[in-house]
Amino acid sequence: MGLRHEDLAAAEGELTITPRANDNRARAKSATPRTVPVSPEVVRLYADYLHEEYGDLDSDYVFINLWGQPFGRPWGYPAVYDLVQRLRRDTGVDFDPHWYRHTYATRLLRKKTPIEVVSTLLGHSSITTTLDIYGHLSVEDARRALEAAGFLTGQEVRW
């Protein structure tokens, strides 16, 4: 909600998460800035959003009130949770926006992204936070990792 247009470097495919005071009281999860890679698809979706929805509005913020009052002002927490409530009602899916951080971390870990990289992307100062709180790995995840390493199959590497 505190994301600004200047935070996205489209040509470089990078987004900088910058802790700062925002008019809507939105805050970053960590106290230090960090830059994360974004896909060309995200850059394209951002461009589409600017062209199709945002139009000629003049605001530093990416997420603004486009249909409700105060028009053109950055989204606040109540607007986000109102949207979430409507999506829950319309889809029947119970979720919280913060769960996307957990889902992202778990997906990265399941795709064998090193824990240090996942921790850095999330802005954690410790990999313990990433693993203990965000890494919702299951016994099946452990089984796949052990099998891929040759354990449980009788093919493990011997030292």
Residue 159 clears pLDDT 60, i.e. is over it: no
Amino acid letter, residue 62: V
Cis peptide before 19 (omega within 30 of 0): no
Report the alpha-carbon distance of residue 144 to residue 158 in Å, rounded.
19
> Has residue 78 been placed in a domain?
yes
Residue 47 clears pLDDT 60, i.e. is over it: yes
Residue 136 clears pLDDT 80, i.e. is over it: yes
| Nearest alpha-carbon partner for 2 in 11, 17, 13 | 17
Q: What percent of the chain has pLDDT over 70?
A: 96
Of the pLDDT bands very low, low, confident and very high (cuts 50, 70, 90), residue 141 is confident
Q: Are 74 and 10 in a shared domain? A: yes
Residue 154 clears pLDDT 80, i.e. is over it: no
The SS3 assignment for 17 reads strand
Per-residue pLDDT at 60:
94
- For the chain, the domain total comes to 2
Report yes or no on whether pTM surpasses 0.75: yes
Of the pLDDT bands very low, low, confident and very high (cuts 50, 70, 90), residue 157 is low
Q: Are 49 and 118 in a shared domain? A: no
Tell me what the mean pLDDT of segment 43-59 comes to. 93
Q: Are 68 and 139 in a shared domain? A: no
> Has residue 153 been placed in a domain?
no
Taking only the tens place, the pLDDT of each residue in 105-134 is 999 999 999 999 999 999 998 999 898 888
